[in-house]
Amino acid sequence: MEKGRPGETGQAKCTALIRSCVLRCSFPLPFFSQSLHPGTRGSLTETSSALRGQNPETTALGPRLGRGVQQARTADGETEVHSRRSTARGEEGGASCPAGCAAPGPPPPAPRARAPRLVFAVATPSALRRVMVAALVAAWLLLAAAARAQREQDFYDFKAVNIRGKLVSLEKYRGSVSLVVNVASECGFTDQHYRALQQLQRDLGPHHFNVLAFPCNQFGQQEPDSNKEIESFARRTYSVSFPMFSKIAVTGTGAHPAFKYLTQTSGKEPTWNFWKYLVAPDGKVVGAWDPTVSVEEIRPQITALVRKLILKKREDL
């Protein structure tokens, strides 16, 4: 027996295989018979023709059968060929599905999404009133904040703690002239400035003018006492009646925001005790002087600003 040429046993098995295929699936023989050995091909052709003659339906259905073949192993280890039928397509052969073959129907419709349900709650009149009041208050606050943001910041926008520990808004001094001074109890300028400042407060204040005193211990450690002791010293020694605030820093990174504003807008930073900053009724800084400039020297400028304010108030009346 030559290599690659099937013997009688192989020919018998191949014939049985084709016979089973034709009987089970009516598979057309010409599809693969061309690749067989001529001897085997002749035997199979006779067998296929005989089977086709015995089964007329095979001949009729053969051209319309699908050609997919799946090979699988059975439990006994033998190879069995199964054919898979496929429905004839109209565009290929134009033939209709044979009797007993269920034609594929149209695809099922996609499920329709349900529209969301809106649930409305009925509010009572009192609840509606509360909501309206809250909305009005919120709108008013927003408008006030917007107006404040649009207006340029000034000295009276800040807050400070007074000499007795109470937080005070400097807004209360808006509309009047202010002379802001960083004071100290043990400085060489203390006596001269305290007396002149108190006289200025007595002559021009308190309705149109105020001295605002901020104790500071940054220069020469000349304000070492507590707030209570500072206030007692100023009241007892000079009978001061102008507003005094708690001890603060007026320069450096820890400087009070109000003094930062004074420094930035005037372009002059305190370098010693008793720096004086003149603030107009609208909160803008209009002048700044170091301790070597006496209160008497700047008194005419302060008086002119106060007089202008008084005249304006009279015109408004």
**Strands in 194-266 per DSSP E:** 209-215
**Omega of the bond leading into 206 within 30 degrees of 0 (cis):** yes
* CB contact at 8 A, 6 and 37: yes
- CA 25, CA 65: separation in Å to the nearest integer? 8
The residue annotated as part of the active site, out of 25, 97, 101, 187, is: 187
Q: Point out which residues pair with 71 in neighbouring strands.
A: 81
Q: How far apart are CA 170 and CA 278, in angstroms?
A: 14
d(CA 179, CA 277): 6
Question: Which DSSP helix (H) or strand (E) runs through 311?
Answer: helix 295-316
Alpha-carbon gap, residue 314 to 133, rounded angstroms: 39
Residue 240: how many other CB atoms lie within 10 Å: 21
216 and 182 Cβ atoms separated by less than 8 Å: yes
**Calpha distance 182→161 (Å, rounded):** 14
In angstroms, the Cα distances linking 216 to 103, 164, 221, 223 are 101, 15, 9, 6
Give one word for 80, left, alpha or beta, with left for phi > 0 and alpha for psi -120 to 50.
beta
Kindly report the number of other CB atoms within 10 A of residue 160's CB atom.
19
Which residues have a Cβ under 8 Å from the Cβ of 243 and sit 6 or more positions away? 162, 210, 211, 212, 213
Q: Decide if 101 is catalytic.
A: no
Tell me which DSSP letter residue 275 carries: -
Just list the catalytic residues: 187
